[in-house]
Amino acid sequence: MSDLAYGFIALDLMPMLAGVLAALCCGLLGNHLVLRQQSLMGDAISHAVLPGLVLAFLVGGTINPAYMFLGAGASAIVTVVLIQLVRRLGRVEPGAAMGVIFSVLFALGVFLLEQGNARAVDLDASCVLYGNLESLSLHWTPADTWDAFLSKATLEQIPRQIWTLLGMTGASIVFMVLFFKELRISAFDPGISTAQGINASAIQFLLMVFVAAAAVASFEAVGSILVIAMLICPAATARLLTDRMGSQILVSALAALGASVGGYFLSANAPESLVHGGSVNAAGMMAVIGGVLLVLTIIASPRHGIVARAVHRQKLSRRIAMEDLLTTLYRAREAGAPHHASGMPAVARAKSSGLVTAKNGALSLTERGLADASAIIRRHRLWEGYLVDRAGLLPDHVHAVAETLEHLDSPSPNETDAPHGDQHGKPIPPAS
């Protein structure tokens, strides 16, 4: 084993593995929170576990990891149950229910901390926020040869937090695979889910239990900041890149993996000019990279990004301007009057596209332009008839609405039994 490989395994493997497992576990479950618009749940649980931690210390009399895990887990599940009750009985939105419950439970935890003797215990706030990834290498002394490394003795040295996160990640994957259909349909339409015999409330509660367990399992190693970030950022990133549930889960896993691995290496190799001392907290940097990936996706997503939407709006505006020009020329041709619209911005593009010609300052439609204009006028007048006959609007109230609807790409109404004339007595062009 080379010195470089041994140095990485001895110093970086366990912290990075813990970060990757926590990011994957939270990132995968976060997909269903994002779809249900309940991303605040991670933040709620991170605050609400405090009374469980304090009670676990008061009962056990010491900071026993098993007691602490059980206390935090019980507090997290109680949080989930109370949020569901407040939502159902109080008929309030999920965000409001989460805000009420985690505020009350956090205050209760502070009260217990003040009244009991737990204040005598050193509770490091930075450890709670950012975890203690780097300390996972302190009791990890792997062998310096591959044969000795791949042995039972090496496995026994792996920190307890790694096994906890590995088990939680595996359990989350199994849960999401087994209940994929139920999770998907209950997220998009709980009513249809219940009608098909799927208990949407039970699925929701089971999901919240897994989210609570994943958050508690990750707190000790990576802290609450990374847990909250990974419950939101990978899933939100994936949601902007795909509209299919299966693809979203895979993309979120890749985003979580990239944020955790990239954040860990950047935390250890950050330039001196950016951070004091050349290194930063690993869990904090993982959260930052997750946020950076989300921001980049918000800007550059092919379908839902800011740039893509701006380009789409620009193309749509240009198309509408072109179609308005064509319909204006069609109506002028229909009325037998020449039209002088050389100042319109779409004229030059219409000329270059072979839709319009100009002669002696007057614009006229080419054969191709006439066909396109006829199709638009047909949609306009069919929509006018639909709005009068089916929607009950007055004939003199439908023109403005039809001018908007004529630009839709969807089929026009009344295509099968289209009349020969519109509500104003003008002929409807035949379908091409």
Q: How confident is the model at residue 251 (pLDDT cuts 50, 70, 90)?
A: very high
Top pLDDT among 380 and 123 is at 380
The CATH number of residue 132's host domain is 1.10.3470.10
Q: What is the pLDDT of residue 26?
A: 92
Residue 208 shares a structural domain with residue 316? no
Q: Does position 260 have pLDDT exceeding 90, yes or no?
A: yes
What percent of the chain is predicted at pLDDT more than 70? 84
Phi and psi at residue 199, to the nearest 5°: -75, 100
Whether 33 and 142 map to the same domain: the answer is yes
Say which DSSP state 142 is in: -
* pLDDT score for 31: 94
Q: What is the pLDDT of residues 35-62, one digit of tens each?
A: 988 888 877 877 787 788 788 877 776 6
* pLDDT above 60 for 121: no
3-class SS of residue 144: coil
Alpha-carbon distance 432 to 424, whole Å?
A: 22
Say if residue 30 is in the same domain as residue 146.
yes
Q: Are residues 130 and 19 in the same domain?
A: yes
Q: Is residue 207 part of a domain?
A: yes
What is the domain extent for residue 326?
A: 309-405
Please give the Cα distance from 126 to 149 (Å, whole number).
33
Whether 429 maps to a domain, the answer reads no
Please say if the pLDDT value at position 116 is more than 90: no
* Residue 350 Cα to chain centre, angstroms: 41
Residue 71 lies in a domain: yes
Identify the band that residue 239 occupies on the pLDDT scale cut at 50, 70 and 90: very high
- Considering the domain boundaries, does residue 251 fall inside one? no
- 355 located within any domain: yes
Q: Are residues 192 and 315 in the same domain?
A: no
- Which residues, other chains included, contact 146 with Cβ-Cβ below 8 Å and sequence gap of 6+? 1
3-state secondary structure of 87: helix
- Pairing between strand 356-359 and 362-365? antiparallel
Write down which residue in 194, 221, 248 finishes a domain.
221
Q: Which range among 108-112, 124-128, 225-229, 333-337 has the greatest average pLDDT?
A: 225-229
Q: State yes or no: pLDDT of 161 exceeds 90.
A: no
Domain count, the chain: 2
| Mean pLDDT within 172-180 | 94
pLDDT at res. 99: 84
- Is the model's pLDDT at 78 over the cut of 80? yes
For residue 326, pLDDT over 70 is answered with: yes
Instruction: Answer yes or no: is 419 within a domain.
Output: no
Tell me the C-alpha distance between 379 and 373, whole Å.
10
Do 131 and 220 form a contact (C-beta atoms < 8 A)? yes
CA distance 374 to 318: 19
214 and 319 both lie in a single domain: no
| pLDDT above 70 (res 23) | yes
Residue 90 has pLDDT above 90, yes or no: no
**Predicted confidence band of residue 297 (pLDDT cuts 50, 70, 90):** very high
**For the residues 175-198, what does the mean pLDDT come to?**
88
CB contact set of 224 (below 8 Å; sequence gap of 6+)? 46, 128, 129, 215
Q: By C-alpha distance, which of 231, 242, 207, 215 is closest to 286?
A: 231
In a domain, 171, yes or no: yes
Same domain for 53 and 181: yes
Mean pLDDT of 91-103: 83
Residue scoring higher pLDDT (180 or 151): 180
Cα(42)–Cα(223) distance, integer angstroms:
12
Residue-averaged pLDDT of the chain: 82
CATH number of the domain encompassing residue 361: 1.10.10.10
pLDDT in tens, 339-387: 665 566 788 888 888 888 888 778 888 999 989 989 888 888 888 888 8
> Domain boundary at 221, 240, 274, which?
221
Q: Do 197 and 317 fall into the same domain?
A: no
Question: Mean of the pLDDT values across residues 268-279?
Answer: 62
Question: What confidence score (pLDDT) does residue 114 get?
Answer: 72
pLDDT of residue 80: 82
Among left, alpha and beta (phi > 0; psi -120 to 50; other), residue 411 is: beta
Output the pLDDT for position 142: 67
pLDDT score, position 313: 92
Domain closes at, from 221, 238, 267: 221
Same domain, 8 and 110: yes
In angstroms, the CA 246 to CA 238 distance is 10
Residue type at 341? A
Reported as type and span, the H/E element at residue 358 is strand 356-359
Pair 216, 338 in one domain = no
Residue 62: inside a domain, yes or no?
A: yes
